[in-house]
Amino acid sequence: MAEAPLTRVTLLARLRDPGNAEAWQEFVRLYGPVIYRFARQRGLQDADAADLMQDVLRSVARHVGELEYDPRKGTFRGWLYTITRNKIYNFLMAQRRRPRASGDDAQQERLDAAPAREQSDSPDAEWEREYQRQLSWRAMERVRHEFQPNTWQAFWLTGVEGRPAAEVGERLKMSPGAVYVAKCRVLARLREEVQRLLEEEQ
C-alpha cells in the first residue's frame, strides 16, 4: 500500500501546467527583478529595462511548452540567460543604429562595449550574482510570515542593517542573547528556503 515518495516537481514542470497560477507568480517574482537589474547593469535605462523584462518573461511564457529541457544541456536559468542576453543585444544594436539625441558619451560608450562583452555562452558572473541575490530576497519574502514580528525585526535590524545586538535588544525589549537566537533562527530558515528554491529549479 505504500507508494514511492512524491518527486519534487520542478518549477519548469509547474510552469508547463497551464493552470498553475502560483508557479507563474513565483517565476515572475524571482526572475523579473533579476532580468531588470541585469539589463540595467548592461546600460539600459529604467523604462527600457522594464520593457525588456516584460519581453523576456513573455517570451518564456510563449515557449515554455516547446522547451526540451535536458539538464545535461544546461540549467533553466541558463536558458533564461540566453534569452535575456539576446534581447539585450538586439536592443542595444537597434539603439546603436538609431541616431541618438542624447549626448551622454559614457552611456554611448557602454552601449558600444556591451555587445562585445557578450561572447561567452555560459551564464556570466553578473547574471549569476543577481540571481543569487534575488534568490535570497525571494526566500526572505516567502518565509517572513512564518515569524512573529519581533523575531523578524531582531533578524532584520542586526543581520541586514548591521545594528549591534545590544541596541536592537533594547529597542525590542529582548536580551542580546535572545536577539542572536532570533536572528539565527530566521537565518537558518532562510538558508533552508534558498536551498528549496534552488532545488525546485534543478
Partner 1 sequence: MHSGKISEALPAGECLEAGELERLIRGRLSSSRAALAVEHLSQCPRCQNRLEQLAAGSETLTAALRELASNQPPRHSAFHRALQAIEYELGMTTVVPEKRSDMPSDDLRFLTPCDEPGCLGRLGPFRIRRVLGRGGMGVVFQAYDPDLDREVAIKIIEPHLVGNEIARQRFCREARAAAAVTHDHIVTVHQVAEDEASGLPYLVMQLIQGESLEQRLRREGKLSVQMVARIGMQAAAGLAAAHAAGLIHRDVKPANILLEAPHDRVKLTDFGLARAVEDVQLTSSGVVAGSPLYMSPEQARGEAIDFRTDLFSLGTVLYEAASGHSPFAAPTPLSVLRRITDEEVPPLHQLDPTIPRELSDIISKLMAKRPEQRYASAKAVAEALAQQLARQQQLHPLEVPVGLNVDSRWFSLSGTSPAWKILLQQGWYSCQRLGRSLRWTVPWLGGAAIGAGLVAIILQPSHVVEHVVEQIVEVPQPRTSGPAPDLILDGRAGGVWSLAFAAPDRLVAGAEDGSLRLWDLRRAAEAGEGLLKTFEPLQNGNIWSIDVSPKGKYMVSACDDAAVVLWNLHTLRFEGLKFPHPHSARSAAFSPNGRYLATGDRNSTVRLWDLDTQVPIELLGHRGTILALAFSPDGRFLASAASEGHILLWDLQEEALWRRQHLEHYLRLAEHRGPVYGLAFAPDGEHLASCGWDGTLRLWNVNDGTQLWNHKAHEGDAWGVSFGSNGQWVATCGADGAVKVWKVPEGKEIFHWRGERGMHIVRFGPDGRTLAAAGRDGMVRIWRLPATMESEPQPFTSSHEPKDRTR
**Residues in the site for partner 1, rule: CB under 8 A?**
1-3, 5-6, 8, 19-25, 28-29, 32-33, 36, 46-47, 49-51, 53-54, 57-58, 61, 132-137, 140-141, 144-149, 156, 159-162, 165, 175-178, 180-181, 183-185, 187-192, 194
**81 vs 155, beta carbon nearer partner 1:** 155
Closest to 79 in 3D by CA, of 69, 87, 88? 69
CB of 12 to partner 1, least distance (A): 15
CB of 76 to partner 1, least distance (A): 16
**113 vs 188, beta carbon nearer partner 1:** 188
**88 vs 120, beta carbon nearer partner 1:** 88
**85 vs 183, beta carbon nearer partner 1:** 183
CB of 86 to partner 1, least distance (A): 18
**Three-class secondary structure assignment of the chain:** CCCCCCCCCCHHHHHHCCCCHHHHHHHHHHHHHHHHHHHHHCCCCHHHHHHHHHHHHHHHHHHCCCCCCCHHHCCHHHHHHHHHHHHHHHHHHHHHHCCCCCCCHHHHHHHHHHHHHCCCCCCCHHHHHHHHHHHHHHHHHHHHHHCCHHHHHHHHHHHHCCCCHHHHHHHHCCCHHHHHHHHHHHHHHHHHHHHHHHHHHC
CB of 121 to partner 1, least distance (A): 26
CB of 10 to partner 1, least distance (A): 14
**8 vs 109, beta carbon nearer partner 1:** 8
